[in-house]
């Protein structure tokens, strides 16, 4: 009698997947708050918009839900090359929750979708630890996810991961950018480095120069690989702390998450068509990794600003009379913040001087 085929014969190990899922479940519970509804036997995660407990009640009079999705980009390929995946999960969360934050939203929950060639518990759990840490930093619950084993689609050792975040904001607190006007100030928040954009160019520079990722770079204070895998900064708690300081006045008029396209590509998205941003490029310290990449490429300065965040990961457009107060608040929160420019009349674009 011919041997009967099993799913495992095709490259998919159900038992290994179930074991990893149990480990992920334990990690996910570390992100749960009082709004997560227990649903261990369900096929979907449950989440309350409001607390029932009087002490913790957080009602939204006119709630608006926001949703974002993103990946960590080709930074993941570098992480696989170095065999260090514990920070990529933070990047994955950051890319979505920072986007939610742009409109003043509170992140509620996060979901991931992990696709692998073969279930490897050590690799997957390392990645999930980073996702849970990112959720904790954002104050979001890891409400669910999917791990798909697909040996016919992914080469051995390869994987991909996507993230999805849902947030909430009260209609009256929604930040749209429509009230931005000439004279408003630009406050830039320091990035933690490259964040998760421009890595196709980074990998090209590294390959061209045959750079050793394990080599210690004195100007960086660590190895090149460690610097390149520094996770994206999550701005949720610091920015929402500042927003919460102004319950009535509309002090922050617009915000932008500086991702692919840099300052010039992202800031115009939140400005009226009749306003332009003038940015002084010497108004903040540029992390040394950007100088190294520009030198090693070589990469022209204009291209550097077009591809990378150059040390500014998030921008707030604020009323000028409140700029110094906001800067002081970020200083107390230990978040690097700089007055990097102003808004003036003109066609919708960014001018970096």
User: pLDDT category, 10, cuts 50, 70, 90?
Assistant: low
Per-position DSSP letters for 187-221, written without gaps between them: EEEEPSSSTTS-HHHHHHHHHHTT--TTSEETTTT
CA atoms of 93 and 232, how far apart (whole Å): 9
Q: Is the pLDDT of residue 336 over 80?
A: yes
pLDDT tens per residue, range 72-90: 999 999 999 999 999 999 9
Question: Taking all residues of the chain, what is their mean pLDDT, rounded to a whole number?
Answer: 91
Look at residue 208 in the predicted model and tell me its pLDDT: 95
User: pLDDT category, 314, cuts 50, 70, 90?
Assistant: very high
Q: Name, in order, each residue with C-beta under 8 angstroms of 239's C-beta and a sequence gap of 6 or more.
A: 101, 189, 255, 314, 316
pLDDT tens per residue, range 184-200: 999 999 999 999 999 99
Closest C-alpha to 111, from 160, 73, 69: 69
Angle, CA of 210, 212 and 216, to the nearest 5°: 145
CA atoms of 99 and 332, how far apart (whole Å): 24
Look at residue 5 in the predicted model and tell me its pLDDT: 58
CA atoms of 76 and 92, how far apart (whole Å): 10
Handedness of CA 296, 301, 302, 307 (dihedral sign): positive
> What are residue 318's DSSP bridge partners?
185, 252
Lowest pLDDT segment from 59-63, 109-113, 314-318, 329-333: 59-63
Look at residue 196 in the predicted model and tell me its pLDDT: 96
Look at residue 7 in the predicted model and tell me its pLDDT: 61
pTM exceeds 0.75 for this model: yes
More confident of the two residues 23 and 171: 171
Portion of the chain with pLDDT greater than 70, in percent: 92
CB 102 within 8 A of CB 270: yes
Q: Is the pLDDT of residue 164 over 90?
A: yes
Tokens of 252: 């922050």
Look at residue 199 in the predicted model and tell me its pLDDT: 96
The domains located in the chain, with CATH, are 7-173 (3.30.1330.10), 185-352 (3.90.650.10)
Buried b or exposed e, range 263-298, using 16+ CB within 10 angstroms: bbbbbbebbbeebbbebebeebebbbbbebbbeebe
What's the average model confidence in pLDDT over 254-280?
A: 96
Q: Is the pLDDT of residue 294 over 90?
A: yes
pLDDT tens per residue, range 130-153: 999 999 999 999 999 988 889 888
More confident of the two residues 61 and 15: 61
Look at residue 54 in the predicted model and tell me its pLDDT: 58
Look at residue 287 in the predicted model and tell me its pLDDT: 97
């Amino acid at each position: 009698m011919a041997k009967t085929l099993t799913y495992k014969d095709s490259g998919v190990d159900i038992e290994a997947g179930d074991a990893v899922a149990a480990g992920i479940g334990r990690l996910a519970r570390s992100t749960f708050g009082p709004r997560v509804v227990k649903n261990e036997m369900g096929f979907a995660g449950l989440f309350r918009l409001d607390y029932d407990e009087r002490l913790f009640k957080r009602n939204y009079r006119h709630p608006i839900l926001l949703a974002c999705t993103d990946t960590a980009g080709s930074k993941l390929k570098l992480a696989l090359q170095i065999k260090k995946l514990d920070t990529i999960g933070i990047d994955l969360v950051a890319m979505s929750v920072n986007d939610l934050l742009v409109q003043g939203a509170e992140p509620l929950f996060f979901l991931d979708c992990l696709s692998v060639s073969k279930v490897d518990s050590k690799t997957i759990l390392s990645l999930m630890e980073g996702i849970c840490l990112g959720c904790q930093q954002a104050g979001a619950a890891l409400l669910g996810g999917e791990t798909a084993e697909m040996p016919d689609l992914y080469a051995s050792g390869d994987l991909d991961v996507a993230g999805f975040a849902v947030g909430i904001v009260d209609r009256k607190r929604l930040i749209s950018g429509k009230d931005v006007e000439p004279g408003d100030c630009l406050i830039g928040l320091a990035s933690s480095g490259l964040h998760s954009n421009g890595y196709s160019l980074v990998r090209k520079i590294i390959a061209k120069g045959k750079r050793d990722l394990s080599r210690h770079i004195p100007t960086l204070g660590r190895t090149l690989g460690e610097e390149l895998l520094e996770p994206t900064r999550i701005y949720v708690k610091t920015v929402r702390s500042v927003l919460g300081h102004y319950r009535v006045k509309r002090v922050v008029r617009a915000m932008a998450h500086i991702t692919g396209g840099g300052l010039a590509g992202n800031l115009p998205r939140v400005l009226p068509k009749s306003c332009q941003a003038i940015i002084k490029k010497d108004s903040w310290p540029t992390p040394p990794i950007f100088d190294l990449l520009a030198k090693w490429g070589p990469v022209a300065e204009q291209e550097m600003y077009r591809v990378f965040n150059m040390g500014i990961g998030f921008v707030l457009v604020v009323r000028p009379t409140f700029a110094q107060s906001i800067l002081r608040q970020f200083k107390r929160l230990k978040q690097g913040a700089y007055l990097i420019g102003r808004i003036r009349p003109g066609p919708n674009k960014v001018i970096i001087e």
